[in-house]
Each structure stands twice: as C-alpha cells, then as structure tokens.
Amino acid sequence: MDALEKLAERNRAHSKHIAKESRSIVFTAIYLMPVLITYFYNAYSPGEGFEVNPLNSLIPTGGAFILSLILHVLVGLLLFTHKLKVVGFFTMQLWFTYFWNSNQDFIFSFIPLLFTFIIFTFQFPQIKVKLLNDKNGI
C-alpha cells in the first residue's frame, strides 16, 4: 500500500507540474501577441502594400516587449485566480496593441501598466507574505 501512496503522490506532483507548464504556455502566447501584431501591422500598413522595413518595426517591437515583460511579471504575482489573470493580461495586451498600432496614441497605450501598478501596490503586503511562505515551504 505504501508503494501506491508514493505513486499517487508522484502523480499529483506531475499533474501540478503539467498544469503550471500549460499556464506558462498561455502566458507566453499572450506575451508575444503585441509583438507579432506590431510586426505584421508595420509590414502591411494600409496603402503601402506588403513591405518589411526592420528599422521601422524596431521601436514598436521594443516597446511591446518592454510593456509585455513588465505586465507578465506583475500579473503573474497578483493574487487573482488564473482565469482572471489570463483575461486581464489578454485585455491589457489588446489595449496596448490597439493604441500603439491603430491610433498611434502612445500615452494611452501604457494606461494598463498604471492600473497594474496600482493593484500591485495594494496587494504587495499579501504578495510578500505569500512569497515568504512559499520560500519557507509553508
């Protein structure tokens, strides 16, 4: 019976590992979304045809990577359910992509970052306690 309990414990640990890996894949896909949309939007701008100029897409791609990285880290730390994190992260990425590419309104494209920092500031004490408990194995 002891061997079955050990096997069941290994199966539970493996299931947790697989679930965590699938969450990482979803977040990575959402993370890359604005970069890919920015690249394709710059490659095929309305009225210009399909033309790829790497220098024109370098600054928007850099901005998209920087914002996505910051949002990815902050949203990953927030104390919400996984589904709410995914929906929020996806919504923030869509907001950024729309204002960065379509409207060329760069100030409004970074508004989700402001809201994320505000939420993070309010949740920081609970996040700190959670991270310390995880580090100590509690």
Question: Can you give the residue ranges of every domain in the chain?
Answer: 2-136
DSSP 50: E
Q: What is the amino acid identity at position 23?
A: R
SS3 letters across 26-86? HHHHHHHHHHHHHHHHHHEECCCEECCCHHHHHHHHHHHHHHHHHHHHHHHHCCCCHHHHH
What's the whole-number mean pLDDT along residues 94-123? 83
- Return the percentage of the chain with pLDDT > 70, whole number: 87
Token pair 């096997």 is found at 7
- pLDDT number for residue 7: 86
Question: What is the pTM assigned to this prediction?
Answer: 0.69
Whether the predicted pLDDT of 123 surpasses 70: yes
Taking all residues of the chain, what is their mean pLDDT, rounded to a whole number?
80
pLDDT recorded at residue 136: 73
E strand residue ranges, the chain: 44-45, 49-50
Residues 6+ apart with CB under 8 A from 23: 82
Is 70 exceeded by the pLDDT of residue 26?
yes
pLDDT tens-digit series, residues 1-22: 688 888 888 889 888 889 888 8
pLDDT grade, residue 137 (50/70/90)?
Answer: low
- For the chain, what is the radius of gyration of the CA atoms? 20
